Structure 1
Amino acid sequence: MQPVLNVEDVRRVEEALTDVGVSISELMHRAGISAAREVLGLPKVENVAVLCGLGNNGGDGWVCAEHLRGKGVNVTCVSPLAPDDIRGDLARVVASSAERSGVPVMVAPPRDQLEELLSGSDVIVDAMLGTGFHGLPRAPFDIWIGCVNESGARVVAIDVPSGLSAQTGLAQGACVAADLTITMLVLKPGLLADCGRDVCGTIVVAPLAEQTERLVVDADPVAWRADLEDYAGMLAPLSYADDKFTRGSVLVVGGSQRFVGAPVMAALAAVTLAVPAPIAPIVQSQLLEIPVLALPASDSGTFSSEAADKVAELARKRSCTLVGPGMRVNAGTVAVVSRLLTTEVPLVVDADGLNCISRLTSNALDDFPELIRRQRPLVLTPHRGELGRLVGLQDTPPASLTAAMEAARRIVWSDGGSEICVVAKGSATACVSTEVAVLPKPGPASLATAGSGDVLGGVLAALLSRGEVDNADLPVLSALACEIHGYAGQLAVERRGSRGVMALDIIDSLGLAQDALEEDIAFPEGNPKE
């Protein structure tokens, strides 16, 4: 797994590196040279423009420019101030060094002159605003960012695309859209989520020092980015000795007269479906292969309170239960969810199942840990709005990956056990347990379609049903489910186009996605079986 550090913790790593003999000056030189090497690795690089800010990020850019010139590249630096006028000592020293080496410098150029330079560049290096940036870019950088994005040249960002918050992944104003981001020391959360996914392009981590890995781990990463090898052993291979009774069974509990389709989407990725009696004939007509069980319903077409004990009885006979898709929130559905939480079976709670928990706890789940404290696995799968409701942030739900992880940790830490995992869904999803937050590789933007979350719930329940799962493995297993779901979404895009994907298309691709991932996990280098 690859560690992810909050920006403030990255600064502590830099300080720790100075304590072991790697100065900030040396780090700047290594960062600039690392960026230059990435530029040199691109095809057809003859003319390069380096846009430098006034801080250490700009210093990295000056070092990069001097190294490129030494390799025979025609490089020009653009700066708001002449090198001798830069206030920061380190940045001024490396800027002056680059100028003395023969790097041409354009100081505060008018827009037309800058546009002319960029239009003739093969690559633009963005070294304007670094990881400490937040808010709105000020002049001249707001103008420069627009010129970069309009240039049509390939863009390499040093540490973070200028205008993007490396912590939150949000951009309040103009933001560079990079083709490649070389980030120093370690991944930052803002590169992996929200606007970061749109503007970072390919991300390369430059560790800069042999001590970095140890110091980053000591800094207590906020999350870990999963690699394929981390899923090894999560999926048992199919056996000819298996039958339908040994491969696990899933119960999906959901649906209402208003939302008939949601439980269908989940059940197509699982096994048995229990729904309110009035919609059972409709659902059965759509699911010829899946048993559909009709349970007591209220006049409104939702589960009645009488369904609670019947659901618990059914759950005890299954390997895993998923509750929530399309079931709505009222006294009857709250009773069903409450009863399932007291039943010691592996349980996935999604959609309205989560909203029922919010109703049960008056939007303060972290104040009622006894409700979710149990022995068997419990996976909650909230999107940011549902997560906000669970912890009293319904008016200001988490707006970033880091905020979502903080909210999820309030839940798992209040529980305190290893049996719970919160899958905080978003543009980047975090699978959060008491010990770790695992970030699966995200799927395409096309996953943001109605029913997609229901499909993910079904995939999660199906994986949990396959056998005894060590509670410590819950976040990794949950991350694997997210990757299967995401890869299925990518396969659906290839078949339907990026704007034409629907939940059924994702379902149709689940089997192929899982086969492909299993093959990649077993043979990460693409080596065929012997």
Structure 2
Amino acid sequence: MQPVLNVEDVRKVEQDLTLEGVSLAELMRRAGHAVAQEVLDLGNLGPVVVLCGTGNNGGDGWVAAELMAKAGAQVEVMTPVEPESLKSPLALMVAQSAVNAGVPFFVAPSRDELDAHLAQAAVVVDALLGTGFHGEPAAPFDIWIDAVNASGAHVVAVDVPSGLSAQTGHAPGGAVFADTTVTMICLKPGLLSGRGRDVCGAIVLAPLAEQAERLVVEADPVAWRCDTADYLETLREPTADVDKYSRGSVLVVGGSTRFPGAAVMAAMAAARSGAGYVTLVVPDRIATVCRTHLLEIPVVGLPTNEEGMFSAGARTEIVKMAEQRSCVLCGPGMGVCADTVSVVSSLLECDVPLVLDADALNALSRMTTNRLDNFPELIRREAPLVLTPHRRELGRLVGQPGEPPSSLTAALEAARRIVWADGGSDICVVAKGESTGCVGVEIALLPKPGPACLATAGSGDVLGGIMAALLARGVVENDVLPLVCAFACEVHGFAANLAAEAHGSRGVMASDLIGNLGLALDAMEEQVSLAVAGVSPEEGE
């Protein structure tokens, strides 16, 4: 796993490194060296243009320019101010060193002059705005960012592409589109979420000091990015000694006259994800239409109220069936009313692994007047509990119905309010978004994000079915629960990639994911085994 630190915590690690004998000047020298080496490794270099800002990020660029020039590269620096006018003492020192070494520089070029230099460049190094930046770039950096993106050159960003917030992943004024981002010390959340997924390109981590790894862990990472080998704990030994019950039984509770399809897709997803026996429980008014789509999955119809949802009379039978299953998924397409709220409340009291999705989460919000974190006794239980809110649902759960979390870090913070209020139960909040966080009491994990085609109605119902099937396989300990959820997210993403190959990146519907889940699960398990053995997927072919 790779630790991810908030930007303010990275600054503390830098300060701690100075206490251990690595000065800020040495860190800048090493950062510049990492950038220079990344550029030089590209080989067959043409001209390199380094765009340097006025802070320490610009200082990294000056160091890189001098090192590349000494290595024989044709380098020039663009700077908005005279080098001797830099206010950062460190940046001033390294800029003067580069100038004394004969590195050519150009001060405050016009747009036409900048375009002319960039047109000749094979590589552009973006060292304009660092990790402390947020908001919209001011002049001249907004113009320079636009010029870089229009240049067509290979772009290497220093620490973070200029214009992108390394904390939130927001870029309201536009950002440099980098081919490679060389980030220092550790990963930052904005690089992995929001616009960061579009503009960072390949992320190269430069630790800068051997003490950095220890200090980053001691700084209490906001999350950990999962590596493929980490999922070994989620796998089961392959065996032919199984039957449909030992593979796990899943009960899906959902559906309404308005949304019958959500429950159908969730049940099919659970079956395609390896559950040996899946049962779907729906309001009886839609049972027949559900049966026409599910040949292998029993559909049980229970009393329906006037609103087309489960009536109060369904609750007792749902609980009875739940207690006989390995896992229960509740919520897809269920609707929210007093009767469905009572169903969710009763299932929370069952001693069985439970996944609450969609309208089950909205029912929780209604039960707690949008402040689930103030009612931890509702979700405190012995069996595993997984909540799978998207950001609007998460906002409703923590008292922010009008202002849902707008970034990955805000979503992680909101999810932690729920799990920390719960205390020590076996709970995981899967905060879904363009980047998803699986938040447990002890750790928050970031699975590899899926493709953009997952942003479609019903995709979350499929994910709920995957999670229910994986939980149904056997007892999941508290410390492994977030890992199981993260693995489910990666299977979900893998299936989406397979579906996109067949239907195009814009043509994928949620139902297209289901037929690819078995293949995705097999492929993911194979990749985990290869990664643990130290074999790349290409070598394993």
Please, what TM-score do these two structures have when normalized by structure 2? 0.97
Please list, as runs of the form range in 1=range in 2, the aligned pairs for 1:405-484 lying within 5 A after superposition. Answer: 405-484=412-491
Give the aligned partner of residue 354 of structure 1.
361
Q: Deviation per CA, 1:474-518: give whole Å up to 9, x if none.
A: 101100000110111111112211111111211111111111111
**Number of the residue aligned with 2:522:** 515
CA shift, 1:272, in A, is: 1.4
Q: State how far apart, in whole Å, the 2-side matches of 1:357 and 1:308 are.
A: 16
Equivalent pair of 1:418/1:433 in contact (CA under 8 Å):
no
The answer on 1:488 being equivalent to 2:495 is yes
In the alignment, what sits opposite 1:255? 255
Shift, 1:233, TM fit: 2.9
Equivalent residue number for residue 97 of structure 1: 97
The residue matched to 1:409 in structure 2 has which SS? Answer: helix
In structure 2, C-alpha distance between the alignment counterparts of 1:196 and 1:228, rounded to whole Å: 21
Per the alignment, residue 13 of structure 2 pairs with 13
SS in 2 for 1:443: coil
Equivalent positions of 1:55-66 (< 5 A) are 55-66=55-66
State the distance in 2 between where 1:131 and 1:143 align. 19
Q: Could you tell me which residue of structure 2 aligns to residue 177 of structure 1?
A: 177
Amino acid at match of 1:355: N
CA contact (8 A) 2:372 2:397 kept: yes
Counterpart for residue 78 of structure 1: 78
Give distance in 2, aligned partners of 1:156 and 1:318. 53
Question: Is the counterpart of residue 343 in structure 1 residue 356 in structure 2?
Answer: no
| Counterpart-to-counterpart distance in 2, 1:43 and 1:394 | 52
| 1:268 partner SS | helix
Question: For 1:252, what is the secondary structure of its paired residue?
Answer: strand
Distance 1:142 1:375 in 2: 54
Matches within 5 A, 1:98-137: 98-137=98-137
Q: Which residue matches 2:157?
A: 157
Q: Distance in 2 between matches of 1:186 and 1:265?
A: 39
The residue number in structure 2 matching 1:49 is 49
Cα distance in 2 for partners of 1:23, 1:228 equals 35
What residue number does 2:31 align with? 31
Q: Does 1:290 align with 2:293?
A: no
Aligned match for 1:309, one of 309, 316, 320: 316
1:354-404 residue CA offsets vs partner (Å, 9 max, x unmatched): 000000000010110000000000000000000000010001100000000
Counterpart-to-counterpart distance in 1, 2:540 and 2:111: 58
The Cα shift of 1:526 comes to 3.6
RMSD across aligned C-alpha pairs, in angstroms?
1.2
Of 381, 390, 393, which aligns to 1:374? 381
**2: CA distance between counterparts of 1:215 and 1:526?**
30
Contact 1:263 1:325 in 2 (8 A): yes
Q: Contact 1:248/1:465 (CA < 8 Å) preserved in 2? A: yes
For the residues of structure 2 that align with 1:262 and 1:219, how far apart are their CA atoms? 42
C-alpha distance in 1 between matches for 2:387 and 2:233:
23
**Which residue of 306, 314, 328 corresponds with 2:335?**
328
Flag the 1:213–1:418 CA change in 2: closer, same or farther, 3 A.
Answer: farther
Which residue identity is paired with 2:447? P
CA distance in 2, matches of 1:119, 1:249: 62
- Select which of 493, 511, 517 maps to 1:504: 511
For 1:148, give the aligned amino acid: V
What is the letter of the counterpart of residue 321 of structure 1? V
Which of these residues, 260, 281, 284, is aligned with residue 277 of structure 1?
Answer: 284
How far is 1:43 from its partner?
4.3
Residue-by-residue CA offset, 1:216-251 (whole Å, 9 max, x unaligned)? 011010100011111103121332111111100111
| 1:256-297 CA-partner distances (Å, limit 9, x unpaired) | 000011111111111211100000000110111111110111
2:397 to 390, 407, 412: 390
Cα pair 2:49 2:123 within 8 Å, conserved? yes
Letter in 1 for 2:324: K
Deviation sequence 1:167-209 (CA, Å, 0-9, x none): 0111121211111111000000111101111111111110000
Q: What is the distance in 1 between the residues matched to 2:425 and 2:230?
A: 19
Contact between 2:234 and 2:484, CA under 8 Å: does it hold in 1? yes
User: Could you give the per-residue CA deviations for residues 282-316 of structure 1, whole angstroms, max 9, x where no partner exists?
Assistant: 01101111111101110221111111111111111
CA contact (8 A) 2:380 2:425 kept: no
Answer yes or no: is the 8 Å Cα contact 2:135–2:171 preserved in 1. yes
Task: Tell me, in whole angstroms, the C-alpha distance in 2 between the residues paired with 1:15 and 1:325.
Answer: 49
Identify unmatched segments of 5+ residues in structure 1.
none
Per-residue Cα deviation, 1:424-446 (whole angstroms, up to 9, x for no partner):
00111000011110010111111
Contact 1:83–1:95 (8 Å) recurs in 2: yes
Contact 1:377–1:420 under 8 Å retained in 2: yes
Match of 1:189 in 2: 189
Distance 2:202 2:284 in 1: 50
Give the whole-Å Cα distance in 1 for the aligned partners of 2:265 and 2:240.
28
SS in 2 for 1:78: strand
Where does the alignment leave 5 or more consecutive residues of structure 2 unmatched? 271-277
Distance 2:121 2:536 in 1: 37
The residue identity in structure 2 corresponding to 1:475 is P
Q: Is the 8 A contact 2:381 2:425 kept in 1?
A: no
**1-structure distance, mates of 2:42, 2:280:** 53
Aligned amino acid, residue 460 of structure 2 = G
Q: 1:137 to 1:526 in 2, by over 3 A?
A: closer
- 1:49-95, Cα deviation, whole Å (9 max, x unpaired): 11000000000000011111111111110000111111211111111
What percentage of aligned pairs have identical amino acids? 62
Partner of 2:273: none
- How far apart are residue 529 of structure 1 and its match? 8.2
Moved over 6 A (4+): 527-530
- Indicate conservation of the 8 Å contact 2:179/2:201, yes or no: yes
Write the distance in 2 (CA, Å) between the matches of 1:54 and 1:526: 42
Cα distance in 2 between the residues matched to 1:440 and 1:529: 22
Residue correspondence of structure 1 range 188-267 to structure 2 within 5 A: 188-267=188-267
Specify the SS of the correspondent of 1:269.
Answer: helix
Distance 1:529 1:141, change over 3 A: closer
Kindly tell me the number of residue pairs found equivalent between the two proteins.
530
